[in-house]
Chain A
């Protein structure tokens, strides 16, 4: 094997080309024989840096190729969700319950497995945090598993090494630690909810008493924890019940999206907003500094900087009758704001025990503690909000914990540091200089999915297994123990965190299954085997949720930690986990990068969100760069103007500006952690801002967010709805159905149709990613998004309604309408898009020659054309090939595609029904978007069946078709949105449709 030859072949290859050429090389006999001789440990040839890089490239390719044919189900017993067939039936997927640890909780999932490879993740209906639904992150996790950029080999100082080499080092270390009690040994992890891992750590700390376990989750809840400690005396988690809440008041809490348990909360919250079923709707008041989807769902919205939010909370506390509240805030509320609070407080008081006040966990502790007291005062505690034991194992203050570690490193007290599953070299607050300090630790180990910023600074990097590759457990937001079982043997040389910690306990090589099973062995009762099988089957341990605890809320906010007082400054800044890549852990996930962010529709970037008024003040437009200076550090960022942002507050998303960690992650956006301070976490009370004069190109998929008086989204207040239930129909000039070609005859049995309930849709994007995953939709990259060629079959249109500063925001999922009278069909010269007798508008990819006439003639603009060979990336990566849904064709360059109503799922159900000699039952087919939807905003089914869910929806007076006046007769219709504004806040209720005017 001639390394120069390989180097020449690989020179100048990056990204996609790199993968392709690696495969080509890997197929050569030279390389194969080389693999046999030299694999897996690096040889002398890898000494020079160039050779090392090449070696890594080769290693990646080889491992990938070596792993693929052997991609099988794990050898340990895993238990399928429904029933195990005698043997694997090709073409028949199996489902397994598992769970995804993310955002301080584990959400139960069902993984679809085709011939031993998982292809799709959906929610576990029996799991409290899922209820069958998923978020975009869960949907995208499957791409995380097959990501070709995942780290594949053990690295020592950047050079490939092996696990055995690492373990032999650990063995020596163990003797050292045993001798000195673990002096200088530190382990840094993110939030851990896994009881098994918690127990393992306990064992480590028992064996090495001087060792320390630090925690740092970039999105932590220290402020909330401080408030709990002060007001309750100990840490506690809260669990909400939105079903019982008539009036909800949110202080900067994005509870529909960002909380552990948000999927459940979104379901419960929207279940109380179905005016056509139940006129007793809930009402949401929201106060927020930066626009969120929760704010978008609110009936009344008050925009306030965080500094003002303290005053708002104090004022609200006084209004609902909390004792002894002495305002510390110097911020004065305006008359309008006072009035707004009066009305809201009255509403809350009238709903004693049936209201709910929430505070964003990132907000100062004083706000949190006041909210505890407000809920207590309103009699909500124990009803709409209850306290449980923290789901986090051994909870600590993360910011404090990381700061301690940093101080200890600086003081040279840390000799051996293990960083598990997190990336602090990137995601630590900028003022800690963590990355520089980390380099000075004598022995440092990073364990993670990617060869990222932290891996580059640590001496050792151990590839981690994906959660679909190992056994684990964890707790849901209510404490339910959730089982994580692997769906596939590890694709690469990774180990799980359980196995790594086991090595620290002197037991290397214990499998994750043994460890997890071992932990639960004596905890599941007498019939352990049965209980274990049941736990794996269900994906959870039934009845393991924590029971509610009761506390007396101490009114201690005048002293200590809670005595916070802030003054308003001209420019404040809030930080938030990014809507798509969170804290950066999903930065290499193409689906998520290309996912249009809910309110801005930006892709592939983060930007500083500012209000139109602030933009005017700074004289900037979208894409203009500004410099943000927090007094210590400054960053330059492009601005994006959004109506609904609080003026004077600039909000930035974390998770961008990655320098390592995959081909996709690198070099996008800017790193907001740089100007984050450890003390204040997600809020910077004082910054200075100036325009730099430079500009950046930002790729948004929706440049126009004004409805232009076209009534795509129809909404009204509850009062209007009561008076005029069919208000949506008064906004169009629909004609009686007519067709030049005559009506389609159609099948007698089936007519597929869909309805989307806009009162339920919160715009969370889960459906978009679910569709990507189900239908093998490629990503196109930032340049192509700038060219206007994104491929999503479902898009969520976002429109503002009303005055630019107080605009209300609306979301509307739009996909192929499957028109009865489809304008796309008659214009195709080759008949590639046709009407099925069940009413589907079908695309025959093989027949399409790409005239694009159908797309031009589609009034909904839902057709997507493969302008370039977008699927090449997928086709040339062995790993990504495995991910594809085998039931859906991967499309070529030059052809048109669009939503099919998941025709593959219809056909699966048809096969089953035919075998059983019956019609397909209602609910038997669920489209991918429908399955993912946390708020059950989508109904799909047979319109011939008058009792089907979708028929019932369509019979509602709220039901309307988009662009009905074109006589396209869409099979997909919408249920108009009904909001519940307080009639006492009349000006805010002015968003009503005023149907009379349009009639």
Chain B
């Protein structure tokens, strides 16, 4: 990629620029590769990694104990068969929506501002899928039989049961994970080559070189590369919609009031994008500061993401409203009871906290100064993530704990292992993320370089 390295400084003056500062191809290239190649090991990074590793260890211990003792170490009980396990699953799958949404759908929509954040959010997607994928497996009573969920040829002539949404889930999530991984890796190839070229140490050259699959940046390469990306984007885009639709069917297919709802698919997808963008903001705000890449991930990016949060947040709010409306409109006593139970039942605090987090507080993003304020942005993004976790708590636990038979009503109280498993999954997520930002270019170098060009042209026109 030597041809892309330019040494002379170029003046870039434009209105409404996505990037800020004086960006050239070289500055972009250097900023991004330096984080990986030349930046020394920092105490702060090591500290963050060690905390994340402690979290990961917690997960390993929690799962170990789970395998030894059984699901009973959690608080799940007879009416509440699913609790933290499936809440966490859906929460992580939701978070996993931002990356592919940004790379695939925004790519197809030719939204150039996505370029600075796509790599990073795709990585986040993969790590979130890894966390999400853990839960459906460990929530099984007999973890050792998890492979029975796959249709594989066997002497019993037994297939999985294709009417079950859980099985659809297996396909949806594994397809999504596969396509996301491919998409992410394909996108990395030119940058891996750049890393190979930039790296000084031979062993780094060798690793990046192997991963770059012989990329030389020829026109043929670029042509095929662009085509592949577009095809993958075309494949991934419907998956963004389908995965959470299928996850929502886990609930919508059942007979349970609070689950048996037709609004679930769109409302779940919107909620997923909502939480995914919130998570991207949560992570971007400290990272861009830490690694000094505020000029590449700019206030403009954050502003745009905040706007996506408002938009999807309103869809989610519509979903909440519809649930209540339909409960009333249907005249079904179980639905009505469920709604009242959310409003004033023993877990009412969770419901109202959810409304506060997901409906009320994000409205602050209508105010430009809030969108421009890093502290506000960061806090609200965390609030949204909490809100989305609460949403799944409300859907799963509140619906299950009081359904048709009052004789079976009970409360769900999480046990210590529920909490450690959740914290552990955060540990897994952050371990992967913290490692990622120091071993791979977290921003797509070549793509951002294309904006530098186009922005320059844009400026020239003025």
Contacts and interface: CB of A to CB of B under 8 A. Distances in A.
A963 interface: yes
B149 A830 contact: yes
A856 interface: yes
Contact of A856 (B82, B140, B170): B82
A731 B338 CA distance: 20
Contacts of A892: 142
A289 to B, nearest CB: 27
Nearest to B85: A852
Interface string B148-163: 1100000000111101
Q: How large is the interface on A (under 10, 10 to 19, 20 to 34, 35 or more residues)?
A: 35 or more
Interface stretch (A185-193, A466-474, A706-714): A706-714
Interface in B157-178: 158-161, 163-167, 170
Q: Which of B145, B333, B408 has the most CB of A within 10 A?
A: B408
Interface stretch (A492-500, A564-572, A862-870, A928-936): A862-870
A712 B405 CA distance: 8
A354 interface: no
Interface stretch (A421-429, A720-728, A764-772, A791-799): A791-799
B350 to A, nearest CB: 19
B44 interface: no
Contacts of A705: 406-407
Contact of B406 (A706, A827, A869): A706
Contact of B407 (A704, A826, A831, A866): A704
Interface in A842-876: 847-853, 855-857, 859-861, 864-869
A864 B76 CA distance: 12
Interface string B49-85: 0000000000000000000011111011111111000
A828 B255 contact: no
Contacts of A712: 405-407
Given A799-B407, A861-B79, A856 B256 contact: yes
Interface string A823-843: 100111111000000000000
A966 interface: yes
A895 interface: yes
A963 B80 CA distance: 20
Contacts of A849: 140-142, 145-146, 148-149
Contacts of A865: 71, 78, 81, 141
Nearest to B399: A856
Interface stretch (A81-89, A643-651, A781-789, A942-950): A781-789
B407 A829 contact: no
Contact of B71 (A707, A790, A850, A856): A850
A853 B77 contact: no
Interface in B245-296: 250, 253-256
Interface of chain B: mostly helix, strand, loop or mixed: loop
B166 A851 contact: yes
B371 interface: no
Interface in B115-154: 139-143, 145-146, 148-149
B233 interface: no
Contacts, number: 168
B253 A894 contact: no
A13 interface: no
B403 interface: yes
Contacts of A851: 139-141, 166
A895 B142 contact: yes
B321 interface: no
B404 interface: yes
Contact of A827 (B79, B140, B253, B410): B253
B442 to A, nearest CB: 37
B82 A852 contact: yes
A214 B165 CA distance: 69
A827 B81 CA distance: 14
A798 B333 contact: no
Contacts of B166: 827-829, 851, 853
Contact of A788 (B142, B161, B405, B410): B410
B281 to A, nearest CB: 34
Contact of B337 (A708, A826, A852, A855): A708
A985 to B, nearest CB: 29
Interface residues of B, number: 50
A829 B148 CA distance: 9
Nearest to B405: A861
Contacts of A860: 404-405
B254 A823 contact: yes
Given A850-B140, A860-B404, A869 B256 contact: no
B160 A707 contact: no
A172 B453 CA distance: 115
Contact of A710 (B81, B146, B333): B333
Given A831-B160, A857-B254, A893-B70, A852 B141 contact: yes
Nearest to B404: A859
Nearest to B163: A826
B409 interface: yes
Contact of A708 (B70, B79, B254, B406): B406
B400 interface: yes
Given A826-B163, A831-B158, A852-B141, A788 B407 contact: no
Contacts of A857: 254-256
A852 B159 CA distance: 19
A864 B78 contact: yes
A787 B408 CA distance: 13
B193 to A, nearest CB: 43
Given A787-B75, A895-B141, A853 B333 contact: no
Given A826-B164, A827-B253, A867 B407 contact: no
Nearest to A797: B407
A46 interface: no
A814 interface: yes
A789 B78 CA distance: 6
A59 B174 CA distance: 57
A703 interface: yes
Contacts of A797: 405, 407
Given A709-B333, A798-B407, A823 B255 contact: yes
Contacts of B160: 829-831
A702 interface: yes
Contacts of B71: 850, 852, 865, 867-868, 894
Given A707-B406, A710-B404, A866 B141 contact: yes
A856 B254 contact: yes
A788 B78 contact: yes
Contacts of A893: 70, 141-142
Contacts of B149: 829-830, 849
A850 B161 contact: no
A830 B72 contact: no
A859 B250 CA distance: 16
A894 B81 contact: no
Interface string B409-424: 1110000000000000
Contact of A830 (B76, B161, B404, B408): B161
A814 B72 CA distance: 24
Interface in A751-808: 784, 787-790, 795, 797-799
A228 B300 CA distance: 98
A963 B333 CA distance: 12
Contacts of A847: 148, 158
Interface string A688-722: 00000000000000111111111010000000000
B161 A703 contact: no
A483 B262 CA distance: 65
B165 A827 contact: yes
Interface of A: 702-710, 712, 741, 784, 787-790, 795, 797-799, 814, 823, 826-831, 847-853, 855-857, 859-861, 864-869, 892-896, 963, 966, 968
Considering the complex of A and B, which 3 residue pairs feature the smallest CB-CB distances, nearest first? A850-B141, A894-B141, A788-B77
Given A831-B158, A868-B72, 6 more contacts: A788-B411, A855-B81, A859-B405, A869-B69, A894-B71, A968-B255
5 contacts: A788-B80, A847-B148, A859-B256, A861-B79, A867-B70
